[in-house]
Amino acid sequence: MTPTTASTTASAADAAATGADRAAAPALLIRGGRPYGEDVADVLVEDGTISAVGPDLSAPEGAEIVDAEGCIVLPGLVDLHTHLREPGGEEAETVETGTRAAARGGFTAVHAMANTTPVADTAGVVEQVLQRGEDAAWCAVHPIGAVTVGLGGERLAELDAMAGSRARVRVFSDDGKCVSDPVLMRRALEYVKTFDGVIAQHAQDPRLTEGAQMHEGRVSAEIGLTGWPSVAEESIIARDVLLAEHVGSRLHVCHLSTAGSVEIVRWAKQRGVDVTAEVTPHHLLLTDEEARGYDAVYKVNPPLRTRADVEAVREGLADGTIDIVATDHAPHPADAKDREWDTAAFGMTGLETALGIVQQTMVDTGTLTWRDVARVLSETPARIARDLDQGRPLAAGEVAHVLVWDPRPAAEVDPEEHASRGRNSPVAGRTLPGRNRLTLLAGRPTVRDSRLAEH
Amino acid sequence: MKHLTGIGDLDRASAIELLDTSTRMVATQERQMRKLPTLVGTTVVNLFMEDSTRTRISFEAAAKRLSADVINFSAKGSSISKGESLKDTALTLRAMGADAVVVRAPASGAAHKLAHSGWIDVPIVNAGDGTHQHPTQALLDSFTLRRHLGGEQRDGERAGSVDGQGLDGLHVVIVGDIMHSRVARSNVQLMTLLGARVTLVAPPSLVPVGADVWPCDVLYDLDEAIALAPDAVMMLRVQRERMLGGGYFPSAAEYTRRLQLTQERADRLPAHAIVMHPGPMNRGFEIAGGVADGPRSVIVEQVAAGVSVRMAVLFHLLASNAREES
Amino acid sequence: MTADRPGPAAPGGEKTVLSEDDISRSLTRIAHEIIETGHGADDLVLLGIPHRGVPLARRIAATIAEAEGAERDPDSLAGALDITLYRDDLRRSPARLPHPTHIPSGGIDGKVVVLVDDVLYSGRTVRAALDALSAIGRPAVVRLAVLVDRGHRELPIRADHVGKNLPTSRSERVGVLLTETDGEDAVRISRPDATEDEEARR
């Protein structure tokens, strides 16, 4: 087992990823943008840190000036649910390509799911993923640890070893599989209290979803694909919030997708259960009607639901029942999707289109403010994962993880332009608003005008 | 009509055209020389990724009666069973110069996928895909219904041409495993498109969630459906394996007690009512042997109609497919 | 046989070349020619080729039945022979629905079969009709009667009985209208304008 240093500081991982470049990065003045979409204020970045925020700042000599007039300035986005596929799935994605995609999407940190080969269920694997993230240096990579050995759902992985490793794992998930055994789930919830960890549950009753292909409802009945009932998700969430309440632990619900799930989480929060929940961009936008053409690009777990569910998750995100948006970015090789629906892989890419979808579905509709966007796509995911230097305020003294987003241009999504190896974007051909004007990772530009800034 | 992947590819007029053409095809099959030169020089591939001797033979006969060359590509012993994808199979068939592909597959949507994925650009005929559609079965069922119950009533006998007619005013009861039945889905769509009223009868556990918006009624009790005096009753095969793992119903005895078309139940049907079954039958399970062989049964005729209907479908898809030929 | 040659129709214009009376006279003459071939009506079967050959066959049959005496029912003399499934150009032009084939109850084996069509042009329709016929039986003799022969044969086929020889150019269209199918009896010739002509050839 890898020796660990319990005293590793919270920001060490990020600092390690980016610190080497900090001193070298020239000063940069973001001029004329609107932090959080509110009043116009300039943001001055020096030595990888935000040194000043305010109107009409003057640029130090030699500083680069970025014209951000009309742009929104946000803390760098944080994704709590990313499949980087490495190790083992390099045909679909690598840490390098996945973090490039993240940067293009405006993210400065991603949390890499554990369902790799081998599974990220030991300190060794999570440290390997961490190291690959540091080498790539497109954004911070925080490995998520598996809850059970090999995602087998039978016995707990060595959670404490992963928590204490250099990767400082705080989020544990068997994502892709549900920790369906109630006793095991209870133990996991209890155990991670040791180091203030959280169990991120993929809520899917396995018996109710045997062979399931898509949301069970009118479309599945008509097109003859095996149904995936909403109750398979809702029953697990209901059980888990009660378990979390009983043992006084933190629970995070991954990719909640149904109106009933929103109701259950709302109810649990009213009871004071320490539960947080996420929704994906695709569940904010798309419905099971997409399955009618049997294009497996729309095959995803949990499945696309109905229009009523889409309305409910939007409402849940607006009223705070759902805490965050997370991408569940799940790239696949073309062959895994270009086939019969039944045999195609589950999952969609999302990193490079997430903010565009959130802007279109939530901001442009007047449902969320840009300050809310900062909350659901940066601050709260960082808080849930206990990332100490991400999702921080745009204020002097903070590490300069910054996104400058121009909400005005709109463009058609072309997956061929994506940095991700995956081409399985469910919004290919759709027009989405917004453009990544600039992304700073600890003061160093990773993206300029939606193009990667090589380093 | 470029493909026939489901009843959704048809409107009422084109469905009736197909039935009328089927009537013409029946007439040609009564001639001294049954082979027609219509599709000479074309190649029809029967791509069967799921065992179905009956349907394959029916399509094969249809294509051969129209003088098409037929290539049978079956899953067993072929590259498909060695893990070749549908896509690679399609590319192979394209390279072999198939002019039309008849596909039977275990995956719902396989025919749609072949038709619209760009892998191969020839007419696709769905010969049954998973639990989705089986359009030629539905066409032959409607053809049989129209033949028996259409036309004019003359001296207690039906007579006269049924050309141009739908199934308006008829009431058809379909009984059995609706959830897993592509035949039921296609029939509900086609029969209602043609103006018939359809009532489904099944145990609630075999009615798909979401079927509430289908253009038909759903009952759980066969006796209640028979009391409605339907013009036809179609019994679906119950796949016995569904009892075991799925637990869709408790036992064969309980199923037959509630849902078997027994002689006693058949006797309660109106005098003119016919009994149908898409086959293969489980005699003594969903249908009593005596009813299957009885005077109301048109089951053998359904099989015969299958060849003519499939000839009509191939004719429409291949002969109407005007190509750039120099 | 009428020999007067109608002047070409003006581009886009239309010209009637056979009136209702002309058609009636032509069919009566054809009926008498058929009787004069020496075969008795007992051995005769008239098969019209859909669409307009069918009413023409029925009309000729009625004339023959009348001439031969009242015992003969025209329905037992005339039928319909659909050739759609025997065409050799199906993959070039859109499918048309096959029409019903109706063979009089006596069948065609050993009979004198007269195929009846409205216009004889390339001869391909007649070739298809001969194939269709051979699938049904083996007539003693097959003859061909047409209301209009417009020339431009592509196969070695000729008509035994012709209502009117009508020299045409390929760009002209010959339209036969019959009361049973079109509400009036007339044969018209029209010359599409140049662009339509091009399309017609394509």
Query: Has residue A321 got a pLDDT over 90?
Result: yes
> How is residue A297 annotated by DSSP?
G
Judge if B289 and B264 occupy the same domain. Answer: yes
Mean pLDDT in chain A?
94
| Residues of B (51-70) whose Cβ lies below 8 Å from C | 66
> How is residue B98 annotated by DSSP?
-
Judge if A93 and A58 occupy the same domain. Answer: no
Judge if B213 and B139 occupy the same domain. Answer: yes
Judge if B278 and B312 occupy the same domain. Answer: no
Full residue range of the structural domain in which residue A291 is found: 77-392
- DSSP, collapsed to helix, strand or coil, labels residue C89 as coil
Residue C68 distance to chain B (closest CA, Å): 30
ipTM metric: 0.91
Say if residues C147 and C163 touch (Cβ distance below 8 Å): yes
Query: Has residue A394 got a pLDDT over 90?
Result: yes
Say if residues B91 and B120 touch (Cβ distance below 8 Å): yes
Judge if B272 and B161 occupy the same domain. Answer: yes
CA distances from A382 to A10, A171, A175, A405, B283 (A): 12, 11, 19, 20, 64
Query: Has residue A96 got a pLDDT over 50?
Result: yes
Judge if B53 and B71 occupy the same domain. Answer: yes
Q: Please state, in angstroms and rounded to a whole number, the distance separating the CA atoms of residues B194 and B142.
A: 9
Tell me what pLDDT residue A322 has.
Answer: 98
Judge if B159 and B178 occupy the same domain. Answer: yes
Asked if B24 lies within 8 A of C99 by C-beta distance, the reply is: yes
Asked if A293 lies within 8 A of B112 by C-beta distance, the reply is: yes
**For B282-308, how does the pLDDT look when each residue is reduced to its tens digit (9 = 90+)?**
999 999 999 999 999 999 999 999 999
CATH of the domain at B286: 3.40.50.1370
Query: Has residue C154 got a pLDDT over 90?
Result: yes
Q: In chain A, what percentage of residues exceed pLDDT 70?
A: 95
Say if residues A300 and A81 touch (Cβ distance below 8 Å): no
Tell me what pLDDT residue C9 has.
Answer: 52
Judge if A364 and A440 occupy the same domain. Answer: no
Report yes or no: C172 at the B interface, CB cutoff 8 Å: no
Most B CBs within 10 A among A294, A299, A307, A342, hence the mutation to make, goes to A294
Query: Has residue A190 got a pLDDT over 50?
Result: yes
Report yes or no: B36 at the C interface, CB cutoff 8 Å: yes
Tokens of A176: 């892709």
Confidence (pTM): 0.90
Decide if B61 is inside a domain: yes
Most B CBs within 10 A among C91, C96, C108, hence the mutation to make, goes to C91
**For B128-169, how does the pLDDT look when each residue is reduced to its tens digit (9 = 90+)?**
999 999 999 999 999 999 999 987 655 555 567 899 999 999
Tell me what pLDDT residue A381 has.
Answer: 98
Judge if B192 and B60 occupy the same domain. Answer: no
Measured between beta carbons, the chain C residues lying within 8 angstroms of B43 are: none
For residue A225, give the chain B residue with the closest CA: B108
Decide if A1 is inside a domain: no
Taking the CB of residue A196, how many other CB atoms lie within 10 A of it? 10
Tell me what pLDDT residue A13 has.
Answer: 43
Mean pLDDT in chain C?
86
Asked if A294 lies within 8 A of B86 by C-beta distance, the reply is: no
Judge if B280 and B146 occupy the same domain. Answer: yes
Tell me what pLDDT residue B325 has.
Answer: 33
> How is residue A348 annotated by DSSP?
B
C174 phi/psi in degrees, rounded to 5: -105, 120
Strands (E), A186-317: 198-201, 214-215, 227-228, 251-253, 275-279
Judge if A98 and A187 occupy the same domain. Answer: yes
Decide if B218 is inside a domain: yes
Decide if A5 is inside a domain: no
Pairing of strands C161-165, C173-177: unpaired
Decide if A7 is inside a domain: no
Nearest CB to B323: which of C82, C91, C134? C91
| Confidence band for A26, pLDDT divided at 50, 70 and 90 | confident
Decide if A397 is inside a domain: no
Residue B13 distance to chain C (closest CA, Å): 12
Write out the DSSP string of A109-158.
EEEE-S-SSS-S-SHHHHHHHHHHHHHH-SSEEEEPBPSBGGG-SSSB--
Structurally, chain B folds into a number of domains equal to 2
Judge if B161 and B128 occupy the same domain. Answer: no
Query: Has residue B322 got a pLDDT over 50?
Result: no
Q: In this complex, how many residue pairs, one in chain A and one in chain B, have their CB atoms less than 8 Å apart?
A: 72
Q: Please state, in angstroms and rounded to a whole number, the distance separating the CA atoms of residues C161 and B246.
A: 73
Measured between beta carbons, the chain B residues lying within 8 angstroms of C86 are: 36-38
**Of A392, A411, A434, which residue is a domain's last?**
A392
Say if residues A280 and A327 touch (Cβ distance below 8 Å): yes
| Confidence band for B76, pLDDT divided at 50, 70 and 90 | low
Q: Give which of A400, A441, A335 is closest to A104, Cα–Cα.
A: A441
Judge if A94 and A26 occupy the same domain. Answer: no
Q: Give which of B27, B17, B6, B2 is closest to B307, Cα–Cα.
A: B27
Nearest CB to B24: which of C82, C86, C131? C82
Q: What residue has token string 């009952």? A: B219
Q: What residue has token string 């051995």? A: C43
The response to whether A436 counts as a known ligand-binding position is no
For residue C94, give the chain B residue with the closest CA: B320
Report the DSSP beta bridge partners of residue A447. Answer: A439, A452
Q: What residue has token string 């083992």? A: A88
**For B84-94, how does the pLDDT look when each residue is reduced to its tens digit (9 = 90+)?**
688 888 999 99
Q: Please state, in angstroms and rounded to a whole number, the distance separating the CA atoms of residues B304 and B148.
A: 14
Cα C124 vs. chain centroid, distance in angstroms?
A: 13
Judge if A60 and A149 occupy the same domain. Answer: no
Judge if A338 and A241 occupy the same domain. Answer: yes
| Confidence band for A189, pLDDT divided at 50, 70 and 90 | very high
Greatest CA separation for chain C:
54
- DSSP, collapsed to helix, strand or coil, labels residue C93 as coil
Structurally, chain A folds into a number of domains equal to 2
Tokens of A22: 């900090």
CATH topology of domain C21-169: Rossmann fold (3.40.50)
Burial class of residue C23 in the structure, from the number of CB atoms within 10 Å of its CB (0-12 exposed, 13-18 middle, 19+ buried): buried
Judge if A88 and A67 occupy the same domain. Answer: no
Name the residue with higher pLDDT: B157 or A377.
A377
Tokens of C104: 């009089």
**For C76-121, how does the pLDDT look when each residue is reduced to its tens digit (9 = 90+)?**
899 999 999 998 776 666 667 899 999 998 899 999 999 999 999 9
Pairing of strands A107-112, A77-82: parallel
Half-sphere exposure (CA, 13 Å, Cβ side) for B208?
A: 27
The response to whether B54 counts as a known ligand-binding position is yes
Tell me what pLDDT residue C95 has.
Answer: 62
Measured between beta carbons, the chain A residues lying within 8 angstroms of B210 are: 216-222, 227
**For B241-268, how does the pLDDT look when each residue is reduced to its tens digit (9 = 90+)?**
666 556 888 888 889 999 999 999 999 9
Residue A17 distance to chain B (closest CA, Å): 42
- DSSP, collapsed to helix, strand or coil, labels residue B47 as strand
CA distances from A182 to A141, A202, A235 (A): 30, 13, 12
**Of A365, A392, A419, which residue is a domain's last?**
A392
Taking the CB of residue B37, how many other CB atoms lie within 10 A of it? 17
Write out the DSSP string of A234-260.
HHHHHHHHHHHHHHT--EEE-S--SHH
- DSSP, collapsed to helix, strand or coil, labels residue A67 as strand
Judge if A68 and A81 occupy the same domain. Answer: no
Q: Please state, in angstroms and rounded to a whole number, the distance separating the CA atoms of residues B74 and B47.
A: 6
Q: Please state, in angstroms and rounded to a whole number, the distance separating the CA atoms of residues B217 and B230.
A: 13
Q: Is the dihedral of CA C67, C72, C75, C79 positive or negative?
A: negative
Q: What mean pLDDT comes out for the span A85-111?
A: 98
Tell me what pLDDT residue A202 has.
Answer: 98
**For C15-73, how does the pLDDT look when each residue is reduced to its tens digit (9 = 90+)?**
999 999 999 999 999 999 998 886 666 789 999 999 899 999 999 999 998 888 756 77
Judge if A38 and A134 occupy the same domain. Answer: no
Helices and strands (H and E) in chain A: how many: 14, 20
Most C CBs within 10 A among B36, B40, B308, hence the mutation to make, goes to B36
CA distances from B325 to A113, B290, B316, C52, C128 (A): 55, 55, 18, 29, 21
Decide if B324 is inside a domain: no
Tell me what pLDDT residue B243 has.
Answer: 62
Judge if A153 and A247 occupy the same domain. Answer: yes
Q: What residue has token string 């391909």? A: C124
Dihedral (Cα; B145, B147, B150, B153), 10-degree rounding: -130
Judge if A252 and A176 occupy the same domain. Answer: yes
Judge if A132 and A170 occupy the same domain. Answer: yes
Mean pLDDT in chain B?
90
Write out the DSSP string of A10-57.
TTHHHHHHHHHHHTTSPPEEEES-EETTSS--EEEEETTEEEEEETTP
Active site residues of A: 328
CATH of the domain at A286: 3.20.20.140
Tell me what pLDDT residue A12 has.
Answer: 42
Full residue range of the structural domain in which residue B173 is found: 135-302
Q: What mean pLDDT comes out for the span A373-382?
A: 98
Say if residues B231 and B149 touch (Cβ distance below 8 Å): yes
Measured between beta carbons, the chain C residues lying within 8 angstroms of B44 are: none
Judge if B28 and B174 occupy the same domain. Answer: no
Domain positions in chain C are 21-169
Helices (H), chain C: 20-36, 53-68, 74-77, 124-136, 179-182, 194-201
Judge if B314 and B222 occupy the same domain. Answer: no
